[in-house]
Chain A
Amino acid sequence: AQSVAQPEDQVNVAEGNPLTVKCTYSVSGNPYLFWYVQYPNRGLQFLLKYITGDNLVKGSYGFEAEFNKSQTSFHLKKPSALVSDSALYFCAVRDRTSGTYKYIFGTGTRLKVLA
């Protein structure tokens, strides 16, 4: 069975500081990994994904994520946070060797960037 854990309900960071939002996953096969963001009163938007290749993935709005197979992690990072980055962030996984198309999401991490 697939699962995703986002251990922090909320992350607070000062504007201009680096940010990290943590995600660990569990799949029996090989994962596709995703990050999505939900801004207040708006729908969810794709940020970035890992499917294969380089472990460091770059995405929208200056975000990046590092795939670590040994630690089964896919943490989201940004070198310098903006107040406008404040939102709810979701990590998601799909087991690409399972033959199914079930995307399993984490419970979300609320990022608050303080001015």
Chain B
Amino acid sequence: NAGVTQTPKFQVLKTGQSMTLQCAQDMNHEYMSWYRQDPGMGLRLIHYSVGAGITDQGEVPNGYNVSRSTTEDFPLRLLSAAPSQTSVYFCASSYLEGRREKLFFGSGTQLSVL
């Protein structure tokens, strides 16, 4: 089992460029989500999904788009990168059932926007 796989691990963008952060899980989890981690701010939820075709906004959704066409994949799109989006991004997935509910995290993507 690979768990949650994020690519790329590092990325440098120029202001205004677009890119997609990839996230895939092989645990058949219904729930997938994206977080950003900034010093002193903890982890902030960007977007989440409870199943294919269903997405919803988190705490800091502006500037990011998501879609969920399959159970396994949940890509995060930056349409026009800004320096404020410099951060470490984590994808996480989970079963929705209470007893099995716990987030499994990917290894993160370190993004710098110049």
A interface vs B, CB < 8 Å?
6, 9, 32, 34, 36, 42-46, 49, 51-52, 90, 92, 96, 100-108
Residue among A6, A36, A44 having the largest count of chain B Cβ atoms under 10 Å:
A44
In the docked arrangement, what's the CA distance between A70 and B43, Å? 26
In the docked arrangement, what's the CA distance between A67 and B90, Å? 27
Name the distance in Å between A96's Cβ and chain B's nearest Cβ. Answer: 7
Beyond A103-B45, A106-B42, A107-B40, whether A43 also contacts B102 by CB under 8 A is: no
Determine if B74 is an interface residue (Cβ-Cβ < 8 Å).
no
- Contact between chains at B42 and A90 (CB < 8 Å): yes
Name the distance in Å between B110's Cβ and chain A's nearest Cβ. Answer: 11
Q: Which of B15-42 contact A (CB under 8 A)?
A: 31, 33, 35, 40-42
Name the distance in Å between B90's Cβ and chain A's nearest Cβ. Answer: 7
In the docked arrangement, what's the CA distance between A105 and B43, Å? 6
Which B residues are CB-close (under 8 A) to A6? Answer: 42
Number of interface residues of B (CB under 8 A): 27
Show 21 residue pairs from A and B whose CB-CB distance is below 8 angstroms, ordered by the A residue. Answer: A6-B42, A32-B98, A43-B90, A43-B107, A43-B108, A44-B103, A46-B103, A51-B99, A52-B98, A90-B42, A90-B43, A101-B48, A101-B50, A102-B45, A104-B45, A105-B42, A105-B43, A105-B44, A106-B42, A107-B41, A107-B42
- Contact between chains at A103 and B33 (CB < 8 Å): yes
Q: Which residue of B lies closest to A109 (CB)?
A: B42
B interface vs A, CB < 8 Å?
31, 33, 35, 40-45, 48, 50, 56, 58-59, 90, 92, 96, 98-99, 101-108
Which B residues are CB-close (under 8 A) to A106? Answer: 42
Which A residues are CB-close (under 8 A) to B44? Answer: 105
Name the distance in Å between B50's Cβ and chain A's nearest Cβ. Answer: 6
